[in-house]
Amino acid sequence: MSEVKVTKEKAPAKPETAAPGALFPVFPFGKYFGSPFALIRELSGEMDNLFHGGFRGVKLETWAPAVDVQQCNGGLVVVAELPGLKKEEVKVEMTDDALVIEGERKLEHKEDHEGFHRWERNYGKFYRSIPLPEGAIVDQAKAELTDGVLKVTVPVPAAKKTVREIPVVEGQQAKAA
């Protein structure tokens, strides 16, 4: 048999408690009376831990695909990186004012070797809403998924730009006017 090294992680520090006999001895009131923003900082830190580093031993993993949006050649082009997803797992919708891309990633990795069995699962839903420019022709939108890259094109008519020149005056003339 091979040896396995086991390490023990340090338990998170217990929150401070109020003085004995306080009305609510469980809540650390004394800690927050020094600064009005101490409670907000504490809650903000807990929220950061929850979404980025785990909360009391629980680690959450979020997934948001990278999306590039650019307007060129008479249209809006949205490119989303969706590695490992099939077209059945991606939903593209158009509303009057937004392009909505949503889907779910389900990754499973299974290994069976002599003496051990390992099965890893990773799930994550995503939802992206991209505002459309004024005048976008949603009826002519096209979406294509190739090798994990989703490309959505929406025709947009060229906007008429009104240019008006503003005369520049000398500093002394501007005060007199």
25 vs 31: which has the higher pLDDT: 31
pLDDT at 27 over 70: no
Q: Annotate 10-56 with DSSP letters as a single string.
A: PPPPPPP-PPTT-SSTTS-HHHHSS-TTHHHHHHHHHHHIIIII-BT
The CA angle 127-129-134, to the nearest 5 degrees, is: 165
Q: Say yes or no to pLDDT of 6 above 60.
A: no
Interatomic CA distance for residues 92 and 98, integer angstroms: 11
Q: What pLDDT is attached to residue 124?
A: 80
Q: What is the DSSP letter of 158?
A: P
pLDDT in tens, 93-114: 998 889 999 998 877 788 888 8
Looking at residue 12, its amino acid is: P
Q: Which residue, 115, 123, 75, 120, is CA-closest to 99?
A: 75
Q: Which two tokens stand for residue 144?
A: 């294509």
pLDDT at 62: 63
Other C-beta atoms lying within 10 Å of the C-beta of residue 78 = 21
Q: Is the pLDDT of residue 4 over 70?
A: no
Question: No. of H helices and E strands in the chain?
Answer: 3, 7
* 71 pLDDT above the threshold of 80: yes
The pLDDT score that the predictor gives to residue 91 is: 94
What is d(CA 13, CA 7) in angstroms, rounded to the nearest whole number?
A: 18
Q: Write the class of the CATH domain 67-155.
A: mainly beta
pLDDT tens digits for range 113-146: 888 888 877 778 889 999 998 888 889 999 999 9
Write down the domain spans for the chain.
Answer: 12-60, 67-155
